[in-house]
Structure 1
Amino acid sequence: MQGRIRKIAFVLPNFEAGGAERVMLTVASNLDRSRFEPVILVFNDAGPLRNIIAEDIRVVSLNAKKVSRGAFSFVRAVWECSPDLVISTMAHLNIAVLLMKPFLPKVPIIVREAITPGFFSKSPVKYMILMAGYYLLYPFADGILSPTRMVFEEMPASLRRRKGKLRRIYNPVNETMIRKKSDGVVRESLARPGQKLFIAAGRLVDQKGFDLLIEALKVWKSKDDWRLVILGEGPDHQKLQEMIDISGMYQVKLGGYKENPWMFFAVADRFLLPSRYEGLPNVALEALALGAPVIAMDTAGGIAEIAEEAESGDVRIADSMDAFLKMMGEVSAAEAAGPRKTLLPECFSLGAVVSAYQDAFDGLLSVRH
C-alpha cells in the first residue's frame, strides 16, 4: 500500500519469556519501516524480552500489574499515540482490549489467538469466560489471527463462518539470529561419543508433558547409550526432579532456564516434544532451523501442520508414549559435530511470516480507508 507510514500498536501484557510475546515482538521489530511504524503498549514492562525489541521502537508502559487494572490507561495510551491499527495477543488480553473497543471507535483491532480453547478446559471459570468472549466480543474484532488452524476449529461455529475475518499466519523463526547464537555448547559435555543426545525445552508445567516422558523412560534406565537434557524452569521442577531421583535415571538432567537454548538444540540428535497440548510450538520450529529433527506427541497442538510442511522424517508424530519411545530408540548418535543444514520449511521463515502480517495490515487498512 502506497502513502503515509501506518502506525501499528502491538499490545502485550508484559515482557515475560512467553511464545506469544516473543512472536509479537519479533514481528514488530522486523516490520518494513518505509510502510509501518511499530509501537509497543505494554501493561507491565517487566521481563527479559524487552532486550529483543529493536532500538527504534517506542515502548509505552501502562504500569499496571494486571491487565484488568490498566484498561483505562490503555484507552488513554491509544488516544495519545493515535495508531492506525491495534493488534493484541493472548485470550485474556484480547477480551480486555475488545471490551474497550467502544471507546476506540475509529481504530481497527486485530486479535491473535495462539492456543486452543482446550488449554483452559481444566479451569471451568476461565473456560466459560473465554467462550463468552468468543461469542460476545470476538465478532467485533476487525480481524482474528492464529498460527494454527486447530484454534479456529475449536472456536464457535458463529465465528468460523466469518471467514473473511479469520487468517492463519504461522509463527516466525529468526533463523539468522538463532544460528549466530547456536555455537558454544560442546556436545561431549552433555553426552559421550556414541550416546544419543535428546533435548527438550519449555516451562516445567503440566502442559509440557515432561512427567509423561520421564515416567515412560524408566524402561530405559538400565541403558547407557542415551542422555536427555530438559531445559526450562517452572513450578513442577521439584516434582520432576523427584521422579528422576526416585527412578535412579542418571541419564536425565534438568538443565534449568537458558537465555540461549539454541546452542543445545544445535547439538541434539532429536528434539523431543511430549506436550499434552500446545498452540504452534515455537521450540520445534527453532530446533528444525538448527538441523535437529523432532519427535512429538500428536497432542502437541499444531505439530501436525508443521509436519505437513516439513520434509518426510524431519517431524515424526507418535500417538502414544510407547510409540514415542520406539521412535527415540530408532535414533542414531551423531557421528560428527558441526553446523547442520536447516530443516525449517520456508513458510515459517522470518521474511515469509512478517510479509504475511504486513499483507494482513494492508488489507484491513485499505478497507477502512
Structure 2
Amino acid sequence: MTSRKIAFVLPSFAGGGAERVMLHFLHSLKPEQYQVVLIVLTGEGPLRASLSKSVRLIDLGASRLRTALFRLRHCISKEKPDVLVSTMGYLNLAVLGVCATLSQPPSVIVREANTVDSTLRWLPIGVGKLAYRLLYPRADFVVCNARHVANELEALCPGLRRSVELIVNPIDVPGLRIQAIQPISEEFSKGWFVAIGRLTPAKGFDRLLEVLSECPPQVKVLFIGDGPERSRLESLTKSMNVSPQARFIGFQDNPWAILARSRGLVMMSRWEGLPNVALEALACGVPVYGLESVDGLGEIQEQAAQGAVLLAPNSQELVDLLSTSAISGSKSDELAPSLLPAAFEGAVVRQQFMSLVEKALHERHGRADTE
C-alpha cells in the first residue's frame, strides 16, 4: 500500500457545510494513491453513513475539544500522516498547537470555512487573536473558501499572504440533481420559499420572520433544519402572526428535492463563509434571495447568471423581491437547468484541492530529506 498518508480532522459527522465539503475532498482522494484517515472528535452525526469504506475512521470519543487534545496528539503522533487537513477555526488552532509539540510534524493544511470573527466570538477576548497570529503562520497552507474570508484572515495575520489559497466549496452537481428529482410530499410543492440551515442565531432566521411579517400571505417559507433556536423561532412565528406563512419541518435527509421545487432559497445570515446551501440551490436551478450584507453571496452573484442571485440592500427591498416572485405565477415541478457557475463544480474544485495536497506532500518530503 502507498505510504502517502493523508489524515483529515473533523469535530463530528454533523450535517453542516464544512463537514460536507471536507468529506467531498476526502472522497476525491483515490485509495490506490493515498492512505486516507479520518479523525473525528466524536463519531456522531447524520453524515457518518456517507463515509466510504476505503477511509479508515478513528473516533476519539470526545464530546469537547478540550478533552480531546491529548488523544488527538497521541493519534497524530502514532499515525504519522504526511499531510494533515483540518477545517473550522477553533479546530485548526488546536491542530496547529498540537503539531507544534511534535518532533516530526506533518505538513498541515488548515481550511478557514467561516469568518474569523465568528470563531473569535467563542474565544476569550484577546486570546483568540493572539492564537491566530501565533499558530496560523505554522500552517504550510491556509485555504479560504471566499475572498472576504481571506481578506479578514490576512488583516489579522499579515504574514499569511504567501500561504493563503483560495479554493471554493465544491458542488457535486450530477449527484445533487439526482437527489433533487426524488419525490416529495405534495404539501411541500405549493410554491414555498425555503430557508435551510441549523437553527442558530448565526443564520438570522429571526430576521427572516420579521421580513415575512411584512410580506403578503402569498409569501410562505419552509424552514428546513433543527437546532437550539427552534422553540424560540416557533414562538416568534406565533407572536408575529405569521404561522400560516412559516413552517418548521426539521432536519431532512434530502432537502434538495424540496429546494428544487421551491420558488427560491432565502438567506439572511448574520455571518457566513461561502454559503454552501446557496451554491446547492443554484445547482438545483433555484434562485437565491438575500441581503447584500450576507457574507459570500456577493461573490457568488458576481459569477452567476443575471437573476440567479437577487440581493437587496435592506429588508424592505427584500420584501418587495419576495412579494414580486410570489405573485408572478405558479412554480413548475420540473427540475430547472443548473444555475451554478462552472468555477464551483466539483470536478474543478477537486482538482485544485488535489494539486494542493501534492504540493504539501512535496514540501513534507523535502523537509524529511533535509532532516
TM-score where L is the length of structure 1: 0.91
CA RMSD between the two structures: 2.1
Counterpart in 2 of 1:308?
302
Task: Indicate conservation of the 8 Å contact 2:189/2:261, yes or no.
Answer: no
Residues 1:98 and 1:318: Cα distance change in structure 2 (over 3 Å): same
Q: Distance in 2 between matches of 1:334 and 1:34?
A: 50
Of 260, 264, 282 in structure 2, the residue corresponding to residue 266 of structure 1 is 260
Q: Deviations over 1:156-193 (max 9, x none)?
A: 5473443221001111112222222223445852354x
Which amino acid is the alignment partner of residue 274 of structure 1? M
Equivalent position SS for 1:162? helix
1:329 aligns with 2:323: yes
Cross-structure match for 2:165: 167
Equivalent of 1:341 in 326, 337, 344: 337
Q: Closer, same or farther in 2 for the Cα pair 1:245/1:302, shift >3 Å? A: same
| Structure 1 unmatched runs, 5+ | none
Aligned-residue offset at 1:8? 0.8
* CA separation of 1:121 and 1:335: change in aligned 2, threshold 3 A: same
Which of 17, 20, 24 is matched with 2:18 structurally?
20
**For residue 132 of structure 1, what is the aligned residue in structure 2?**
130
Match of 1:149 among 139, 143, 147: 147
Which string of whole-angstrom CA distances, capped at 9 and with x for unpartnered residues, describes residues 268-306 of structure 1? 111111111111101111111101010122232211111
For the residue of structure 2 that corresponds to 1:103, the secondary structure is coil
The amino acid of 1:236's aligned partner reads E
Distance 2:339 2:144 in 1: 23
Compared with structure 1, are the counterparts of its residues 367 and 287 closer, same or farther at alpha carbon in structure 2 (3 Å cutoff)? Answer: same
CA distance in 2, matches of 1:229, 1:157: 38
Q: Aligned to 1:105, what secondary structure does the other structure show?
A: coil
The 2-side partners of 1:158 and 1:188 are apart by: 49
1:88 is paired with a residue whose SS is strand
TM-score normalized by structure 2? 0.91
Residues 173-188 of structure 1 mapped to structure 2, 5 A cutoff: 173-186=171-184, 188=186
Tell me if the contact between 2:7 and 2:85 (Cα under 8 Å) persists in the aligned partners: yes
Alpha-carbon distance between aligned partners in 1 of 2:102 and 2:3, rounded to the nearest angstrom: 24
Query: Quick check: 1:191–1:227 contact (8 Å CA) kept in 2?
Result: no
Deviation of the 1:35 alpha carbon: 3.2
Residue 5 of structure 1: how far off its partner (Å): 5.8
- Of 182, 191, 200, the residue aligned with 1:205 is 200
The answer as to whether partners of 1:273 and 1:295 remain within 8 angstroms in 2 is yes
AA at the equivalent of 1:81: E
Q: Is 1:84–2:82 an aligned residue pair?
A: yes
Identify if the C-alpha distance between structure 1 residues 121 and 7 changes in structure 2 by more than 3 Å, giving closer, same or farther.
closer
CA shift for structure 1 position 72: 2.3
Counterparts of 1:34 and 1:56, CA distance in 2 = 10
In 1, are the aligned partners of 2:180 and 2:257 still within 8 Å (CA)? yes
Structure 1 position 363, deviation (Å):
1.5
- In structure 2, distance between residues paired with 1:211 and 1:302: 20
CA distance in structure 2 between the aligned counterparts of 1:319 and 1:185, rounded to whole angstroms: 36
Match of 1:279 in 2: 273
Mapped contact 1:117–1:127 kept (Cα < 8 A) = no
2:223 matched to 1:217?
no
Aligned to 1:294: 288
How many pairs were matched up? 361
Question: 8 Å contact 1:187–1:267 — kept in the other structure?
Answer: no
- Give the secondary structure class of the aligned counterpart of 1:100: helix
Check if 1:114 corresponds to 2:107: no
Residue 368 of structure 2 corresponds to none
Q: Does residue 317 in structure 1 map to residue 316 in structure 2? A: no
Matched, 1:350 2:346: yes
> Relative to structure 2, which stretch is displaced further, 347-356 or 286-295?
347-356
Alignment of 1:55-74 (within 5 A): 55-74=53-72
